[in-house]
Structure 1
Amino acid sequence: MTRKFLAGVALATLMITPAMAQDADTVLATVNGSDITLGHVIVARSQLPEQYQALPDDVLLDAILEQLVQQEVVASAVAEDMSQAMQIGLENERRAYLAAMALDAVGNADVAEEDVQAEYDAQYGDAAPATEYNASHILVETEEEAQSLIEELEGGADFAELAQQNSTGPSGPNGGQLGWFSPGMMVPSFEEAVFELEVGEISAPVETQFGWHVVKLNETREQDAPALDQVRADLVEGLRVARVDAYIEDLSENAEIDRPELEIDPALIRDSALIGN
């Protein structure tokens, strides 16, 4: 649905009279011989943005039906004289819709609790406590500046004050504090320097793509594996994604896929003239 849906709400004047034994095939309107059914309205409503779905049902019924009628009026006028681009677009839309519905059905199916538990055990069952680090840094432009700051620190200067006065990084006003982080969260050269430090120790100048750092390790702590309920949502989502991937892989392995060896100029994908535009 597009912005025209709101216009459809304003223009809607059709009233549906209740009838007995209505089902998805109940015809609500006929346009140039093509029926628009209750099923068409139900599907169209299900595809509305959430804010529109919250509208009253009577408003939605009239508005959606009016829009479908208008769409059919226009579509039937051009159906017999579609351009190649329009025909290809319909094929793409059909393909995408069918694939999306199939993958939604596979991905959204219930995930068994035993599968969630098995995935948790696989990821965290044998996991040793992970070390987390709390560090501060001073970021400057040159190695010489970094070395000069290290000498001041060795002479008794306060790290936080030097960071506030000299650091070009966003943590400077906060005394250079970076808070807690685990391996993989910082750039490699910075992490390597942190991992080699003892608590309270200052690093030699460390170069990254951001400049030169003087790093101080404030604390370390051991973080146990999270409880199942803490990561349940992530585990379920991962299982759903894996299930969809396996479904696609299985279908692909059993499909007849032929990719002729052709040399295609990639720039041709921008040539709309090839499809009559």
Structure 2
Amino acid sequence: MQKPLTFLASVVISATLALPVAAQDNPSVDTVVATVNGTDITLGHMIIARASLPEQYRQLPDEVLFSGILDQLVQQAALADTYEGDLPARVTLSLENEARSLTAGEVIERNMAMPVSDEDLQAAYDAQYADVEAGDEYNASHILVETEEEAKALKEELDGGADFAALAREKSTGPSGPGGGSLGWFGKGMMVPTFEAAVIEMEPGAVSDPVQTQFGWHVIKLNETRKTQAPSLESVREELELQLRQTRVQGAIEDVTATADVDRSGSEGIDPAVLKNLDWLE
């Protein structure tokens, strides 16, 4: 199928040739910037054209974009005026699809923009977080070595007063070694079962006996523990509002579709493969 004209490559070349654009007092979306064979081109047309450009073109200087977009719209208008006869089906159908899509999108945008009530927000928060039970989180460090003998030797050094972080930086084969073995905060299910089980049984400040996992042998130090709490309403307000708006839009789509006078009988018995017949659109 024929593709619409894309942003002209000459715009990039003109970056070194563009002249400053004179400012106009109080321009608006309806301001006419050019007329081609009696057809007006407005600032609104240019704004829409810029918004549809690939990101790399939108990075060009404003003066270059203004000149390039205006040139493109003038050229398109002039070319369109030379067309004779009926437009191909691919064009008229594309225009109909585009108008339908943009109008439906506007309905969705208006629905999304409607405010969410405090009552609905509180209800959504309660439904999601009211029954959340406080859990435990752990802050631990470890030294990972290959053999049990190495791990036992490390435990003896630590029991004798050696600095855990210094030993981790010197001896640990794990990626946390350079950071003194620190693993930061983690909750249940985030570590392999044997490692997690050992941590759960420890008291803050304690150092474990050697613990084996599929990664090797660990000597673990539990630094701190804390209880997890449900987030505050304010901290999740934006997330919940978005969820509520999306749910509201989906419900509106389903409702309006259900109440519309829809007859799909014309699609019955049609081979789905016909959608590949682009030749029909010529």
**TM-score of Structure 1 vs Structure 2, range by shorter chain:** 0.5 to 0.7
TM-score (norm 1): 0.62
In 2, Cα distance between the equivalents of 1:263 and 1:139? 62
Change (3 A) 1:96 1:123: same
TM-score (norm 2): 0.61
Deviation digits for residues 36-60 of structure 1, max 9, x if unmatched?
Answer: 34543464567687x979x99x998
Deviation digits for residues 216-258 of structure 1, max 9, x if unmatched?
Answer: 2322111333332222222223323333343444456567596
Match of 1:231 among 230, 236, 239: 236
Check whether the contact 2:112–2:246 (CA below 8 A) recurs between aligned residues. yes
Map 1:113-132 → 2, pairs under 5 A: 113-132=118-137
Are positions 1:136 and 2:137 aligned together? no
Residue number in structure 2 paired with 1:197: 201
Change (3 A) 1:234 1:92: same
Match of 1:175 among 180, 196, 203: 180
Map 1:55-66 → 2, pairs under 5 A: 65-66=70-71
Check whether the contact 1:205–1:212 (CA below 8 A) recurs between aligned residues. yes
In 1, Cα distance between the equivalents of 2:245 and 2:21? 42
Query: How far 1:134 moved relative to its partner?
Result: 0.6
Change (3 A) 1:2 1:109: farther
Give me the CA root mean square deviation: 5.1
What amino acid maps onto 2:213 in structure 1? V
User: How many aligned residue pairs are there?
Assistant: 261
Gaps of 5+ in 1: none
Query: How far 1:110 moved relative to its partner?
Result: 2.2
Gaps of 5+ in 2: 1-5
Query: How far 1:111 moved relative to its partner?
Result: 2.1
Residue number in structure 2 paired with 1:109: 114
Among all aligned residue pairs of Structure 1 and Structure 2, give the percentage whose two residues are the same amino acid: 38
Check whether the contact 1:193–1:206 (CA below 8 A) recurs between aligned residues. no
In 1, Cα distance between the equivalents of 2:84 and 2:172? 66
Larger of the two Rg values belongs to structure: 2
